[in-house]
Amino acid sequence: MSDLSTNELSIRAAAPADLDEVLIFWKEAAEGTSISDDRDGIARLLERDPECLLLAERGGRLAGTVIAGFDGWRCHLYRLAVHPEQRRRGVATALLSAAEERFVRLGGRRGDAMVLDANERAQHAWRAAGYERQSRWSRWVKPLSR
């Protein structure tokens, strides 16, 4: 077992210097990347809301991430990802707790998350954290050209 499992977990907001590591991490620990998951996209995110990308670290290494975005009206959770060696060790729970505390501090009332229908592991984690699937909603998307 790596030293990721032996040290205490810490949570902090990401800094611009973390972006490359986060992108590499998501390729391994998340369901890949999407259209806005690039260095420029994340840099814009942090410029707009410097405390929204939360990192969990253990043993000096990245163990998990979550984006806790609040637009002043709604609380959105994205990119909850945990390193494969760290799953089922409280990383997601700690990240979601930090995100929810952030939302409450900012005046948020309800958190929501986008979860891939085929990602059963993620669905289990969200359900265990107290989130419920809303089957009456569908996500509608349109890529925007520059």
- Whether 38 is covered by a domain: the verdict is yes
Query: Is 78 within the bounds of a domain?
Result: yes
Q: Is residue 140 part of a domain?
A: no
For residue 133, being part of any structural domain is answered with no
In this prediction, residue 138 carries a pLDDT of 80
Q: Are 11 and 54 in contact (CB under 8 A)?
A: yes
0.95 surpassed by pTM = no
Confidence at residue 3, expressed as pLDDT on a 0 to 100 scale: 44
pLDDT at 93: 94
Q: For position 86, which CATH number holds?
A: 3.40.630.30
Per residue of the chain (146 residues), give pLDDT as tens. Answer: 344 545 799 999 999 999 999 999 999 898 767 777 889 999 999 999 999 999 999 999 999 999 999 999 999 999 999 999 999 899 999 999 999 999 999 999 999 998 888 888 889 889 999 999 998 888 788 878 76
**How far is residue 128 from each of residues 69, 88, 124, 131, 144, measured CA to CA in Å?**
21, 11, 6, 7, 35
- DSSP-assigned states of every residue in 87-130: TTTTHHHHHHHHHHHHHHHHT---EEE---TT-HHHHHHHHHTT
Q: What's the CA gap between 133 and 114, in Å, rounded?
A: 10
Tally of structural domains, the chain: 1
